[in-house]
Every structure is written in structure tokens, then in C-alpha cells.
Structure 1
């Protein structure tokens, strides 16, 4: 099962040279959102609910598609050695507004369990830098996501 998921995800991420597909963008964004959720070693129900809501709203996908996307992204996160493969896809396929929304979503997940962990904040900051979100937009996203 894990091999099938990994194979599917790998083929989707590497895709064709014709450009980044919408599905590849969804997988990359979901993986980055999951990185925030799991970095503190506690992926609880409130973080999962927030993640699901963000993905369903951002991509307009059903609950079933969202569940599949989360499973695929979790598998890839476990296999990834860095966030580069995800941030590269985001840089190649997302507008500045999409990047802002991603960072805002990452903050929402970090705040979801009621405890902003220093590692969660580090991951959001690192991704923000890697996808070239300005510091002012980083702060604006943090304030917009704060409960």
C-alpha cells in the first residue's frame, strides 16, 4: 500500500516537463501544511480538522478527495529529506496571493491546538522564506490566522 502511494505521489510530483499540474500544486501545499502539523510530534484532531477545512476551501475538493490528499501528503512527508521539493513546486506554480494564503493556512494549523510551538513557528518562517513571502506578509498572515 505504502509503495503504491509513494509511487503515485512521486509520479505526480515529478510529472511531465510541460509544467506543474493543479494536482501537483495541491500535493505540495498539503505536504507543507502537514509539516507544520507534525513538527511538534502531536498531530491532533483540531489540527486535522483545520487542515481538512483549509484544503477543502482552498482547492474546492470533497471530503473524500481531501482525505486521499492528506494520506498521500503524509506519506511523502515521511519520505522527504527536505521541504525543497515542495517549496520548489509552490514557487513554480503559485501566485503571491496563493503563497500568502498558504502561509496563513500554516499559521492556522500552528494555532489550532491552542499552543503555538516554537518548532511550528520555525517551519512556517522557513517555508515563508523559501517561497519568497515578504516579512510584512508573513506577519500579516500570522495576525490574520490568530484566533
Structure 2
């Protein structure tokens, strides 16, 4: 009986050794979708937030303008269709290092502070994402303070 359970787990529940890793495009899409999510948390993605988002994506991924437009549009569509943050945060957990996760949280703060107004929904969303991608509370606060102080 125990050997049948072990066999079932090995066949159905463990990831395959040769399973494809998350592609760079999927990682970019997950990051972009989370940045758009924070930009729209207050129900208004204004031009300043959108430009900040595009600047961050350009800085992170060094994309050509055409590819940047495509990624932004695709991320917006994905974000509109998403029913939860899980599909994006699970990809981030699978594909990113702790430093990349911290950088994502910092980037989310940049989008939130882009319009010089921090909405409670933006902060709550960033806090939730930080928890889901296992960024410590102290690093969450450090990222916020770094971005906030740079805005002053």
C-alpha cells in the first residue's frame, strides 16, 4: 500500500525534472501585471503612473519601445482577466530570487508614489503581494521608505 502511495506522489504530485522553467516573457508579464495592478488599485491609472510603470519595465528588462508597448498591453489584458494575484505571485516565487522580489516590491512602491498620493488600496495591495512572495516585513518597510524618501 505504501509503495502505491509513493508511486502516485512521484507520478502526479512532484514536478518533472525536465519541466520547462518559466520563460523570461512569462516573468516579464507577471512583473508587469503586478505593477499595473498597483497602478489601478485606486481605480485610476493616470498618465504619471503609466509612465513610471513603463520606465520601470524598460529599466528592468531593457525592452525596445515596440516590445514595451506589447508587454504593457498584454499585462493589462492579463490583469483584467485575472481572478486573483496568485497566478502572478506564484510565477514570481518560481522564477525570482529574493533580491528580485525585493526589487519588485520597491518598483510597486514607485508606481504607487508616482502621482504623489499613496492610496490605502495601493498600500494594501503591495503589502499583500509582499506577503505572497515572501518578502519580509522589514524589507517591505525598507522598500517603501527608500522610494518615499527619494520622492521628497
TM-score normalised to structure 1 length: 0.87
Q: What is the alpha-carbon root mean square deviation over aligned residues?
A: 1.1
Select 2:121's aligned residue among 110, 119, 124: 119
Give the deviation of 1:17 after TM superposition. 3.6
Distance 2:72 2:93 in 1: 21
Per-residue deviation, 1:143? 1.2
**Which residue in the other structure is 1:58 paired with?**
60
Show CA shifts across 1:43-98 (max 9, x none): 00100110000000001112221111010000011111001000000000000010
What pairs up with 1:123-134 in 2 under 5 angstroms?
Answer: 123-134=125-136
Gaps of 5+ in 2: 1-17
Q: Distance in 2 between matches of 1:96 and 1:144?
A: 17
Q: Which runs of 4+ in 1 moved over 2 A?
A: none
2:31 counterpart residue number: 29
Provide structure 1 residue ranges, at least 5 long, that are not aligned to the other structure: 1-15
Task: State how 1:34-113 maps to structure 2 within 5 Å.
Answer: 34-113=36-115
TM-score by structure 2 length?
0.85
